[in-house]
Amino acid sequence: MHHIINTYDTVEQGKVYPLFEKLVSREVKEEKLGQHAKVIWFTGLPCSGKTTLALALEKELFSRGFLCQVLDGDNVRCGINNNLGFSNADRLENIRRIAEISRLFLSAGVITINAFVSPTNEIRELARGIIGSDDFIEIFLNPTLDVCEHRDVKGMYKKARAGQIADFTGVNAPFETPAHPSLEIHTDTEIIEISLQQILSTILPVISLTA
């Protein structure tokens, strides 16, 4: 009797190995969508402008015919990661899950725009390793800490300085500056339109099929 392989074939002491070769390839999906999938990863201090720029970028790319998905704390920590806190171990697991989700979007040909503090080199390298360096576009938003605190309408910095929030990046937890980001933007001295144009200049050549 011939062995019939299902979507998953179980081998080696009960381990399950997904048979990705049976899926429609990423290249075929990208051709269908008319784009090259990439993960655009915004990193920076809380209130540095990550979500604002991520949403602006999504709208601009969508208007140009690209299919995108934004991931940020609001739609991740309220759902798939709602069991995680902000310890170093939980931050690592948060980013690991996000990177794995991003990789699934990549396999579907979808451009993923991620907006996460991701404060340490270890965390960002974890994401890059899962996603793959060729598909990982790191954009570092680098306003001053004072500007970030001034923009903080939720009062999180104030609570952290009062000892009401532990492990808050920029106050009682470190932020390590990325060594070699694809792009660095000073969102304290540039208007959003200028920042958006810089981002588009960086990513359009690599997400466009005709580039």
Tell me which residues are annotated as active site.
118
CB 42 within 8 A of CB 50: yes
Categorise residue 40: left if φ over 0, alpha if ψ from -120 to 50, beta otherwise: beta
CA nearest to 61, candidates 73, 71, 53: 53
DSSP 5: P
**DSSP-assigned beta bridge partners for residue 39:** 112, 136
Say how far apart CA 193 and CA 28 lie, in whole Å.
34
For the beta carbon of residue 207, count every other beta carbon within 10 angstroms: 21
Which residue reads 């070769």 in tokens?
A: 21
CA nearest to 122, candidates 174, 183, 72: 174
Say how far apart CA 9 and CA 16 lie, in whole Å.
6
Say how far apart CA 57 and CA 196 lie, in whole Å.
7
